[in-house]
A = this chain, B = another copy of it.
């Protein structure tokens, strides 16, 4: 059952909060040995909380659609009194004394935390498995990666363990597992969701957001997560909208389909699937417009420069204890220390120019549509992939279509739009203007309906 269905069933008394929590906990017990999606399971706490929420409902106190919904948090989000490892040896036994804004907001909305999900070490690197906590496996094929860094959250939702899991996205880390695992993944505008208590990696690129089974569920989660927070000075004072899609018409909405870059060096099955989804959207009334996008490869490089510097600035104090890190992350952290400040400053200048370019592009269209990734989920350990005759590093292929969007700060969603011939999910990425999450979710929902 997805989130909205569970919410309806609860109110129809067809199920209780406790039963929903028990069901999620039973699935963890059943599947986590194979998937390794959870690092911590909060069984007792979840059952106690669910019972309290049942009593609340019985007493007529309804906190809204998240009331009693079991969910998971990526293990880089602080949970007061509950271990938060950040996928790192540094914090393997760390119990934070404060909670992240994401956890606080879910708590007050009445969602029931069932556990903390596995992730890449400090949410860095991209497709590597975690050297301290092991690889997460893709529920569609356990020999394949779920993508990262929010891989445990993607696997948990895709396996039907929970209808909602929180992720974080610095270079694609929500949209990548959403695409590889066949879930919805939403990264709202930079500054829409507080990152307070999300263990930092690249502060100017970082977002917190939900992975869910449906677009509607992502909208419900965003409504609870969004809003100003004095503890994250990037958050905006803009009012939070009612994001839940209302089946309003999408007729005439202009969707830009990139002529350059986004459909080049993309697996044929991925391209056909995305084109099929766009065709269905067109039938539903949107207007497809070919557009040329800015030089995304250049923006990916700029994003990498920004992230290398920001991550190394944060982790420099730990770098004399080299045994704390796996080799992949250590290499990235070392690399960042050799960047000159002038390169970082120039990257930030180029970033502002690119933001202007996107602003101009969004005068012509209302949204952009692209494949989320050029490929479907690679096998665990696979280093190279060949796409249309060109061999490419799996890590680069995995971030190629998503990373630059973090640099610009635009809201973006990945939603399932089909499967390849081996049954692996394919994702469609929709990108909107800053703070136009309502439009983004409306169109994403219309595409999802058109495809179902």
A residues engaging B (CB < 8 A)? 203, 233, 305, 308-310, 312-313, 316, 336-346, 349, 352, 355-356
Contacts and interface: CB of A to CB of B under 8 A. Distances in A.
A448 to B, nearest CB: 35
A266 to B, nearest CB: 33
A360 to B, nearest CB: 11
Contacts of A356: 233
A345 B233 contact: no
Contacts of A339: 340-342
List the 9 closest pairs (A to B, CB-CB), nearest first: A309-B341, A313-B345, A341-B344, A339-B341, A313-B342, A341-B341, A313-B346, A312-B342, A309-B345
A305 B338 CA distance: 17
Given A308-B341, A313-B349, A337-B340, 19 more contacts: A233-B355, A233-B356, A309-B341, A309-B342, A309-B344, A309-B345, A312-B341, A312-B342, A313-B345, A313-B346, A336-B341, A337-B342, A339-B340, A340-B340, A340-B341, A341-B341, A341-B343, A344-B344, A344-B345
27 contacts: A203-B349, A233-B355, A233-B356, A305-B341, A309-B341, A309-B342, A309-B344, A309-B345, A310-B345, A313-B341, A313-B343, A313-B345, A313-B346, A313-B349, A316-B342, A336-B341, A336-B342, A338-B340, A339-B340, A339-B341, A339-B342, A340-B340, A340-B341, A341-B341, A341-B343, A341-B344, A344-B344
Contacts of A352: 233
Copies of this chain held together in the complex: 2
Contacts of A346: 313
A388 to B, nearest CB: 35
A203 B336 CA distance: 23
Contacts of A310: 345
Which residue of A310, A339, A345, A352 has the most chain B CB atoms within 10 A of its CB atom?
A345
A291 to B, nearest CB: 21
A235 to B, nearest CB: 13
Contacts of A316: 342
Contacts of A313: 341-343, 345-346, 349
Contacts of A342: 309, 312-313, 316, 336-337, 339
Contacts of A338: 340
Nearest to A316: B342
A394 to B, nearest CB: 27
Contacts of A312: 341-342
Nearest to A338: B340
Nearest to A312: B342
A310 B308 CA distance: 18
Name, among A308, A310, A338, the residue most crowded by chain B CB atoms within 10 Å (CB to CB). Answer: A310
A308 B336 CA distance: 19
A156 B342 CA distance: 36
A339 B346 CA distance: 14
A355 B234 CA distance: 13
A338 B346 CA distance: 15
Contacts of A336: 341-342
Contacts of A340: 337-341
A342 B349 CA distance: 17
A203 B356 CA distance: 17
A175 B340 CA distance: 32
A161 B54 CA distance: 79
A73 to B, nearest CB: 25
A305 B341 CA distance: 9
A302 to B, nearest CB: 13
A336 to B, nearest CB: 7
Contacts of A305: 341
A342 B352 CA distance: 20
A17 B352 CA distance: 42
A339 B345 CA distance: 11
Nearest to A315: B342
Best-buried of A309, A313, A339, A342 by chain B (most CB within 10 Å): A342
Contacts of A308: 341
A340 B341 CA distance: 5
